[in-house]
Amino acid sequence: MEEGLRLYNTLTRMKELFQPLQSPFVGMYVCGPTVYGDAHLGHARPAVTFDLIFRYLRYLGYRVRYIRNITDVGHMEEEGLGEGEDKIAKKARLEQLEPMEIAQYYSNRYHAHMTQLNVLNPSIEPQASGHIIEQIALIEKIIDAGFGYVSEGSVYFDVESYSRQHHYGKLSGRKVEDLLSNTRDLEGQSEKRNPFDFALWKKARPGHITKWPSPWSVGFPGWHLECSAMSAKYLGDHFDIHGGGMDLLFPHHESEIAQSQAANGQDPCKYWIHNNLITINGQKMGKSLNNFITLDELFSGKHELLEKSFSPMTIRFFILQAHYRGQLDFSNDALKAAEKGLKRLMDGWKSLEKITPSDASTVQVKPLQEQCLEAMNDDFNSPVLIATLFDGVRMINSLVDKKETITPEDLTLLRSTFQAFIFDLLGLVDEAPETGSGRIEQLMETIIQIRKHARERKDFATSDFIRDELARINIQIRDTKDGAEWAVTG
């Protein structure tokens, strides 16, 4: 067990030494997608960030129970206030499908995209719609504690009365007074005592499909509630880490704290971790700006802002090249640079095989490994880790060029360090050999060279033999002005 991990806690605004509540067990809850559309860059960043954290905690020997939820109900278009139309129900209405068909379709696509990004599956992936009973029980606790009230069949969280005993705003650093003056008028809020009260339960309007019976009305839970209910169910009332994108800090996570304090008298977790957001060519990403790039579009290159396609590993590497708390700006140039960087790293890994060990080392491998660990222990600093690995690539190149020497023991350590950090922790995959097509091109080029060599020497027996052997495996060679070409015939 590594004792040195320090992580930035959004709640305290400090880097703190990581001390799990019940080591070696670690409970981590991360807000997952609302499944009403394809995953985009804004989904990829938290997924890859918390995948890195999950992988590193496991690497340190912790037994991590990692929960990432699926929001398939109750996420309203006006997120802050729990008003507007349910995002999935709206999509279903537009496409004339059962809302659960929409949720299933986009859940499946989300999973496929996460697999492409080599994001590990969380331990449990609970669905909001599957935990209505737990959410109703939580509302009852909040009402009993005096922090929830019923109005017209809906239930709201009473932020003002909560604020008299607790600090609503402590995570995001907001003040209740400011909230009051900034809140817009919206339909439905006349049911509320105060405009910034948020819904715990909403009575279903006529025609609303996704609904359940409750003590207050046939309706559905408020969005903030599901995470409080499901994290408590699978990790307990107080667990180690809660994560998500910075866009969820307020009001979602702030409200989760309020719900847990109201129901259980304690914060839900010890550490809050938030990844920063993504910009596209310096601009905020948004559907109205037409710079909303889905993962599918990135992988296929089919978006007017993209000059070419970028592989899943290029996207993953690009995200990891920035620290998760820094902003990340997507641009074609930045992605092309990431593509090159990833290739350099993988080439370095492959070059390890070309090194012949010597009796003595002129390179320092152990300090390199320690720097890698230090980077990860410093709030999961993946860009510093990657820079250190590039130092390692330079070391490897010098060793291949025989400008430096290395002992067999040091070579083994260098290889295991690269293996651990590139593949196990950064979660990168060498994409090249997967298709095999690059290798096939190389081999055909080799055969064509052999044939050319034979023909130059007027060795037509060999060149005919090559033609016949290739024909046996359905490959045809044809001579053109630009040299020989080949094609598969069957």
Q: Compute the distance between CA of residue 49 and CA of residue 342 in angstroms, rounded to an integer.
A: 17
The distance of Cα 168 from the centroid of its chain, to the nearest Å, equals 28
Contact with its own copies (CB under 8 A) among 41, 132, 262, 280: 132
Least distance from C-beta 477 to its own copies, angstroms?
11
User: Can you name the residues that pair with 476 across neighbouring β-strands?
Assistant: 487
Reading the block at residue 430, the tokens are 């060498």
Residues 6 or more apart from 236 whose CB is under 8 A from it? 27
Q: What's the residue count for the chain?
A: 490
Q: Does 210 bind its own copies (CB under 8 A)?
A: no
Binding string, residues 454-473; x marks residues near its own copies by CB under 8 A: x--x-x-xx--xx--xx-xx
Q: Does 419 bind its own copies (CB under 8 A)?
A: no
The verdict on 177 binding its own copies (CB under 8 A) reads no
d(CA 159, CA 171): 15
CA distance 63 to 58: 6
Which is nearer to its own copies, 190 or 442 (by Cβ)?
A: 442
Helix (H) or strand (E) holding 115: helix 99-116
Nearer to its own copies (CB atom), residue 360 or residue 488: 488
Q: Which residues contact 320 (CB under 8 A, 6 or more apart)?
A: 48, 52, 382, 383, 386, 426
Query: Least Å distance between CB 327 and its own copies?
Result: 33
Report the site for its own copies in 281-340 (rule: CB under 8 A).
Answer: none
Q: Which is nearer to its own copies, 409 or 464 (CB)?
A: 464
Helices first, then strands: H and E counts in the chain: 17, 17
Q: x/- string (CB under 8 A) for its own copies, residues 4-43? A: ----------------------------------------
The residue type found at 119 is V
d(CA 384, CA 390): 10
Least distance between its own copies and beta carbon 133 (Å): 5
Q: Which is nearer to its own copies, 12 or 446 (CB)?
A: 446
Applying CB under 8 A, does 398 fall inside the site for its own copies? Answer: no
3-state secondary structure of 90: helix
User: Residue 237, interface with its own copies (CB under 8 A)?
Assistant: no
**Half-sphere exposure of residue 245: CA atoms within 13 angstroms, side-chain side:** 16
Which residue stretches of 170-279 are H helix? Answer: 176-182, 223-235, 254-264
Task: In whole angstroms, give the CA distance from residue 128 to residue 473.
Answer: 54
The binding track of 40-69 with respect to its own copies, each residue x by CB under 8 A or -, is: -------------------------x----
**Dihedral of the CA atoms 293, 296, 299, 301 (nearest 10)?**
-60
Residue 215 binding its own copies, by CB under 8 A: no
Radius of gyration of the chain (CA): 28
Give yes or no for residue 356 binding its own copies (CB under 8 A).
Answer: no
Q: Which of 206, 207, 483, 490 binds its own copies (CB under 8 A)?
A: 490
Of the ranges 1-9, 192-200, 307-315, 347-355, which one interacts with its own copies (CB under 8 A)? 347-355
Nearest distance in Å: CB 333, its own copies: 28
Residue 254 and residue 170: Cα distance in Å, rounded? 7
Tokens of 129: 């719609």
Candidates 42-50, 239-247, 285-293, 439-447; binding stretch for its own copies (CB under 8 A): 439-447
Among residues 12, 22, 23, 121, the one that binds its own copies under rule CB under 8 A = 121
Q: Judged by CB under 8 A, does residue 351 bind its own copies?
A: yes
- Is there binding between residue 402 and its own copies (CB under 8 A)? no
Structure token pair of residue 72: 């398939």
> Quick one: 97 exposed, middle or buried, by C-beta within 10 A (0-12, 13-18, 19+)?
middle
Among 21, 150, 447, 484, binds its own copies (CB under 8 A): 447
In the bound state with its own copies, the residue whose beta carbon lies nearer, of 216 and 324, is: 216
Min. distance of Cβ 154 from its own copies in angstroms? 18
Q: Taking the complex as a whole, how short is the minimal distance between the CB of residue 225 and its own copies, in angstroms?
A: 15
Closest distance between its own copies and the C-beta of residue 353, in Å?
4
Give contact residues for its own copies (rule: CB under 8 A).
Answer: 65, 98, 100-101, 104-105, 108, 111, 121-127, 129-133, 137, 212-213, 234, 350-351, 353-354, 435-437, 439-440, 442-444, 446-447, 449-450, 453-454, 457, 459, 461-462, 465-466, 469-470, 472-473, 489-490
